[in-house]
């Protein structure tokens, strides 16, 4: 099987899908790996490092893609990249199907079997393949560094000759992987941390990191069978809004990480809530790409409202490209080797991981959300 790793083309993307250590493992299993010249440069990985483990370097991206049986990427491919892939090939990448309908349509047209790492079920068996968690961990860490850098106060307590400076207060919304890493990082920097989540099952995890958990008392189950948060009742959200408003007003830095189904960002912080925060406070909205948890968030920008900075960072893992590429690459290799049987990749449609991740296959769109959105477009 010939695996291709093209250079990422999205602006600001510095990661690479496979690092040399991973390529070595795949080659040892009998696979051939080709990579576009310079694909690893953004992550400080030279072409020489790839060649040293037996990877073939391609100067022509079109030739690389057209010859590949299996393409590995970090970002969703462009329509043009899909056009270059041969019909019937396989693709493994972050795809977010409902946000990239043109690409999904083209993948189906080209009869590509597209496997989305962001659709892999969150099960114990699939944990080591979960790129969302690997990248969310980095995002949660980096979000706290941004908040600490932009805040008008110290994070830790300082006792000086000029008197004592008390620790900053940080509020984290969402206690998934990104949120838990944000809590841990803020605590390591010396802040006082409070966190909330619609899933009360995570309260113990929050408390184990030294933070205080606050949540809405409810009998509603906020977690799907696949481990994601789901939408709840209007009454629940009314109570949640009251809790969030009070916490935003009482804290110096707010970090939001909430996504429904791993894709849609619920609107949790209103303009009115921001206006009641102390000037000099900071909001770092990690859900910016999904529309933002704050009403005032502008993806990729910093907005100032009543002296409060609302920061909407995009693609934070790409700002730590070396470690991010290594972790992402290890996830992909684990996935590939899990289904490598008899010297070929076994696309077992009955396997729960394959079934969850497979977005397009044999000309059909299998992802329910993307299929519904495409059908809706066709009726418009």
Q: Mind telling me the catalytic residues?
A: 122, 127, 130, 133, 228
> How far is Cα 310 from Cα 255, in angstroms, rounded to an integer?
10
Q: How far is CA 42 from CA 46, 114, 138, in A?
A: 9, 25, 17
CA angle 13, 15, 18 (to 5 degrees): 145
Contacts of 380 (CB under 8 A, 6+ apart): none
Contacts of 119 (CB under 8 A, 6+ apart): 95, 97, 356, 357, 359, 367
Q: Are 37 and 67 in contact (CB under 8 A)?
A: no
> How far is Cα 95 from Cα 91, in angstroms, rounded to an integer?
10
> How far is Cα 368 from Cα 226, in angstroms, rounded to an integer?
15
Contacts of 181 (CB under 8 A, 6+ apart): 136, 137, 138, 139, 140, 141
Phi first, then psi, for residue 77 (nearest 5°) are -70, 155
Q: Are 111 and 97 in contact (CB under 8 A)?
A: no
> How far is Cα 131 from Cα 119, in angstroms, rounded to an integer?
10
Contacts of 149 (CB under 8 A, 6+ apart): none
Q: Are 190 and 253 in contact (CB under 8 A)?
A: no
Buried/exposed code over 57-70 (b: 16+ C-beta within 10 A; e: otherwise) = ebeebeebbebbbb
Count of residues in the chain: 380
């Amino acid at each position: 099987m010939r695996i291709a790793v093209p250079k990422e083309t999205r602006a600001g993307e510095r990661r690479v899908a496979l690092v040399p250590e991973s390529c070595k493992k795949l080659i040892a299993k009998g696979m051939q790996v080709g990579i576009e010249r310079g694909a690893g440069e953004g992550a400080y990985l030279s072409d020489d490092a790839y060649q040293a483990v037996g990877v073939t370097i391609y100067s022509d991206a079109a030739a690389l893609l057209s010859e590949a049986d299996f393409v590995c990427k970090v970002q969703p491919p462009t329509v043009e990249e899909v056009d270059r892939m041969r019909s019937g090939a396989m693709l493994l990448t972050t795809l977010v199907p409902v946000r990239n309908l043109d690409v999904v349509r083209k993948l189906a047209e080209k009869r590509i079997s597209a496997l989305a790492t962001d659709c892999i079920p969150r099960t114990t068996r699939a944990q080591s393949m979960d790129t969302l968690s690997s990248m969310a961990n980095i995002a949660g860490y980096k979000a706290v560094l941004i908040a600490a850098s932009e805040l008008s106060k110290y994070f830790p307590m300082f006792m000086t000759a000029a008197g004592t400076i008390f620790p900053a207060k940080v509020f984290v919304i969402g206690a998934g992987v990104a949120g838990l890493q944000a809590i841990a990082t803020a605590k390591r920097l010396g802040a006082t941390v409070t966190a909330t989540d619609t899933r009360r099952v995570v309260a113990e995890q929050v408390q184990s990191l030294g933070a205080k958990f606050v949540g809405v008392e409810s009998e509603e189950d906020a977690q799907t069978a696949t481990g994601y948060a789901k939408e709840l009742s209007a009454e629940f959200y009314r109570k949640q809004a009251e809790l969030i408003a009070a916490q935003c007003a009482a804290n110096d830095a707010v970090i939001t990480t909430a996504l429904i189904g791993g894709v849609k960002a619920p609107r949790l912080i209103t303009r009115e809530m921001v206006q009641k925060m102390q000037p000099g406070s900071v909001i770092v909205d990690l859900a910016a790409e999904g529309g933002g948890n704050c009403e005032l968030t502008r993806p990729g920008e910093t907005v100032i409202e009543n002296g409060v900075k609302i920061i909407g960072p995009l693609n934070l893992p790409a700002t730590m490209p070396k470690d991010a590429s290594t972790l992402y690459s290890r996830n992909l290799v684990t996935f590939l080797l899990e289904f490598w049987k008899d010297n070929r990749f076994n696309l077992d449609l009955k396997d729960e991981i394959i079934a969850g991740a497979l977005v397009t296959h044999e000309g059909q769109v299998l992802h329910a959300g993307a299929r519904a959105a495409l059908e809706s477009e066709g009726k418009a």
